[in-house]
Structure 1
Amino acid sequence: MTPDPRTPVVVAGLRTPITTAGRALAGTPVHALAAPVLRALADRLPPDPPVDDVVLGNCRGPGGNTARVAALAAGLGAAVPGLTVDRQCGSGLEAVRLAAGLVAGGAGQVYLAGGAESASTAPHRAWPPTAPGEEAVRYTRAPFAPPGHPDPDMGEAADALARRCGVSRERQDAYAARSHARALAAAARGAFVAELVPVAGATADDRPRRLHARRLARFPPAFGAGGSVTAGTSSGVSDGAAAVAVVSERVRARLGVPGAAVRAAAVAGVDPATPGLGPVPAVRAALERAGVALDDVGVVEVGEAFAAQVLAVTDALGLDPLGADAERVCPDGGALALGHPWGATGAVLVVRLLARLLAPGGPRYGLAACAVGGGQGVAVLLERVGADGGADGGGG
């Protein structure tokens, strides 16, 4: 089959080290996290055709269109615009989805898409006074749903999801220990080196550590006395950025490099009371659109906000990351170990997928999915193209 020249293809992916808020990247504002990644990606692309746009996810930054500020700071030139999107923890993946849609629709041929978050420099926010003499009321986050709808904090939602779906404390501890162990093993063999862009002196992820389930079992509940979610089974509050180059198949072929074609993408809404289940209908919709079975997907990257959330999602999809599917689901660890820079995490998943798909003997298909506060899910299905033994960029 002749490849469609407008098929969107991810040809490169990079990220900063992910560091715990208040540590190595604490003094780096969000645009300055994204700019070095954008610059490094642009340097891997030819000047013609030029970058059509920069699309970045961001949740709690200062406003002012982070993507445009970062694009200018990266030296991409005044002619390159920027769009900042907010789908909360799915923002980075949403940026990739949007860029792929723009390429597929013929709006452009080269996009830099991803996300960035600086929890360390996020501004404090407050509701304005409603009457003379009143003080502003500070809040820690904006509402995910309006009055009359459930609007739990994410930790409380994870506890409720664990109870509803029967995800035991023991399985959560085991999964968290697994995430850290796999991230440490990946770092030790140099799996992250090619994708890392040093920023402000930070050269490596700082969160993964040796944890055992028996140690995790001693952690108290973090979000209520009757809960099962702990600090050890929750992702860290982090700083970081990640982005990918999404180009048309025409450009990929001209470059002569392998890539990962975006075969399908989907978003879905679920009950705001159980936002952690958002990836389930999104994954199913993406697979159905592509005509691909989950059994044919060689690697599945799920945003690891909480161990309970990942296990509830994988249980619903029929995956067993603690057993038969250990090499398929987050095989190099995830946000539980690396950290969770909210607006960037979805893009980190795509960077990780790309590395897996393009490795020698890599699988044909890879899937990334994120849960979103307020009850949403995002999923993107990728297929290896242009590599030895890969697809030709045609149909799925």
Structure 2
Amino acid sequence: MTAHIIAACRSAVVPRGGAFNALSIDALGAPVLRAALTQAGLESDQVDEVIVSNAIGGGGNPARLVSLAAGLPESIAGLSIDRQCAGGLDALLLAKAMIESGAADIVVAGGVESYSRRPQRLRTFADGGAPKAYDRPPFTPWPDRDPDMAVAANTLSTSLSITKDVQDAWAVDSHKKALNHTPTSVEMVVIEGQSRDPFSRKMTPALATRAKQVSGTITAANMAVAADGAAFCVVVSEKMLRALRCEGVEILGGATKGDTPELPGIAPIAAIKAALRKTGLRTNDIKCAEVMEAFAVQAIACVQGANLDPACVNLGGGALARGHPIGASGTINAVRLFHELRTQGGRGLAAIAAAGGIATAVILSA
């Protein structure tokens, strides 16, 4: 039994406080889910399950919210997952596992995140002290091994001797590729008038040099901005693929791996190598790759460490030129990869790092 993506689409990625500012996660995710089903030629009552990655929405069951808002039957319970940035790719691997086990024939899998509408968080204390606001949860039980993400990225740049100039050049190139890429109506679902990623710009080395410093070599130019966005893929069994008489992109395999918590940026290297082993492939079998750019240094380190060809990475630009809607970013990479493979054929890789030193990699084949 094999699993195939037959439709994949996304919203624009909009920096927080922008055009998606007023949209709840269900209002943002539902139109994208509906569009994916329409592209697949499926009716709502044919869907067996909906899997949604969400990292900062405050809990509950976002998959149920999005499913109901999209008009799917009340019989679909929805499955929500939180593996932070990696969740958008993990949703696809879960869909693959459900289909290969025979538990489902049609699964809609993806992610949605609204940085603009994320709830405020308060930490309570055992001594009865006043609750204190916090921005993110701990990613390890040891504070000394749980650095701020920008601090960790700067540590990575120092340990691997990846200079600020090299990081800035990567960011400039990401924006350039994004500006040269025009998303089709098949890839991009227009919401609030947004038909392309509005953050992409004519970034120059001079602009990157003047960008605000965040931590050491890490600046506002070479790290991704917080953003809102959604993406979904329709994953079907081989039996359903034949019944629908359509072409699909097979999910060959993937892996989620943990690595050093202090250096989360390099975790994708282990995940990529594991995914290649599972599928019996080598890096030179990969025709194109979508590698997350939460930080330029992280993308550079992963491309080098996994021995990927930089010329085949992020052909339409990456998150540096879009933004980072945490729970949706992995699926956005998969959507980009799906459409690249539909055009070019061959095998492709999507990979993403996540806080706490974990990462996921997925390999697709057209």
TM-score interval, normalised by the smaller of the two chains: over 0.9
Deviation per CA, 1:105-137: give whole Å up to 9, x if none.
1111100001000000000001124334x2101
- Residue 129 to residue 317, structure 1, CA distance change in 2 (3 Å): closer
Q: Is residue 118 of structure 1 aligned with residue 100 of structure 2? A: no
Deviation per CA, 1:36-85: give whole Å up to 9, x if none.
11111222333498111100100000322001110000001101221110
Q: Could you tell me how far apart the structure 2 residues matched to 1:192 and 1:65 are?
A: 31
The one of 96, 102, 106 aligned to 2:102: 106
Q: Which residue of 2 aligns with 1:163?
A: 158
The question of whether the paired residues in 2 share the 8 Å contact of 1:259 and 1:354 is answered with no
The question of whether the paired residues in 1 share the 8 Å contact of 2:291 and 2:333 is answered with yes
The question of whether the paired residues in 2 share the 8 Å contact of 1:258 and 1:358 is answered with no
Q: Which residue of 1 aligns with 2:245?
A: 256
TM-score normalised by structure 1 residue count: 0.89
Question: What code does the residue aligned with 1:364 have?
Answer: G
Name structure 2 gaps, 5 residues minimum.
none
- Residue 240 to residue 269, structure 1, CA distance change in 2 (3 Å): same
Q: Could you tell me how far apart the structure 2 residues matched to 1:53 and 1:45 are?
A: 17
Q: Is residue 185 of structure 1 aligned with residue 180 of structure 2? A: yes
Identity among equivalent positions (%) equals: 38
Q: Secondary structure at the match of 1:343?
A: helix
Q: Is residue 354 of structure 1 aligned with residue 338 of structure 2? A: yes
The one of 299, 303, 306 aligned to 1:310: 299
The question of whether the paired residues in 2 share the 8 Å contact of 1:13 and 1:351 is answered with yes
Deviation per CA, 1:142-179: give whole Å up to 9, x if none.
01111266101111111011111111111101100000
The question of whether the paired residues in 2 share the 8 Å contact of 1:299 and 1:363 is answered with no
1:30 offset after TM fit, Å?
A: 1.0
The one of 54, 58, 66 aligned to 1:70: 66
Q: Which has the higher helix share?
A: 2
Q: Which residue of 1 aligns with 2:256?
A: 267
Q: Which residue of 1 aligns with 2:317?
A: 333
The question of whether the paired residues in 2 share the 8 Å contact of 1:144 and 1:373 is answered with yes
The question of whether the paired residues in 2 share the 8 Å contact of 1:28 and 1:200 is answered with no
Q: Secondary structure at the match of 2:199?
A: coil
Q: Which residue of 1 aligns with 2:351?
A: 369
The one of 290, 293, 315 aligned to 1:301: 290
What pairs up with 1:194-273 in 2 under 5 angstroms?
194-223=186-215, 227-273=216-262
Deviation per CA, 1:221-262: give whole Å up to 9, x if none.
212xxx111100010110000010010111112222221111
The question of whether the paired residues in 1 share the 8 Å contact of 2:152 and 2:262 is answered with yes
What pairs up with 1:380-395 in 2 under 5 angstroms?
380-384=362-366
1:203 offset after TM fit, Å?
A: 3.0
Q: Which residue of 2 aligns with 1:279?
A: 268
The question of whether the paired residues in 1 share the 8 Å contact of 2:7 and 2:37 is answered with no
**For this pair of structures, how many residues does the alignment match?**
365
Q: Is residue 10 of structure 1 aligned with residue 2 of structure 2? A: no
Q: Is residue 26 of structure 1 aligned with residue 21 of structure 2? A: yes
Alignment RMSD (CA, Å): 1.4
Q: Secondary structure at the match of 1:278?
A: helix
Question: What code does the residue aligned with 1:244 have?
Answer: C
The question of whether the paired residues in 1 share the 8 Å contact of 2:352 and 2:361 is answered with yes
TM-score normalised by structure 2 residue count: 0.97
Question: What code does the residue aligned with 1:98 have?
Answer: L
Name structure 1 gaps, 5 residues minimum.
1-5, 385-396
Q: Secondary structure at the match of 2:127?
A: coil
The one of 284, 289, 300 aligned to 2:278: 289
Question: What code does the residue aligned with 1:198 have?
Answer: V
The question of whether the paired residues in 2 share the 8 Å contact of 1:297 and 1:363 is answered with no
The question of whether the paired residues in 1 share the 8 Å contact of 2:15 and 2:323 is answered with yes
Q: Could you tell me how far apart the structure 2 residues matched to 1:377 and 1:199 are?
A: 30
Q: Could you tell me how far apart the structure 2 residues matched to 1:170 and 1:176 are?
A: 10
Q: Could you tell me how far apart the structure 1 residues matched to 2:43 and 2:96 are?
A: 20
Q: Could you tell me how far apart the structure 2 residues matched to 1:38 and 1:219 are?
A: 36
Q: Could you tell me how far apart the structure 2 residues matched to 1:311 and 1:379 are?
A: 16
Q: Could you tell me how far apart the structure 1 residues matched to 2:250 and 2:7 are?
A: 12
Does 248-257 or 370-379 show the bigger shift? 248-257
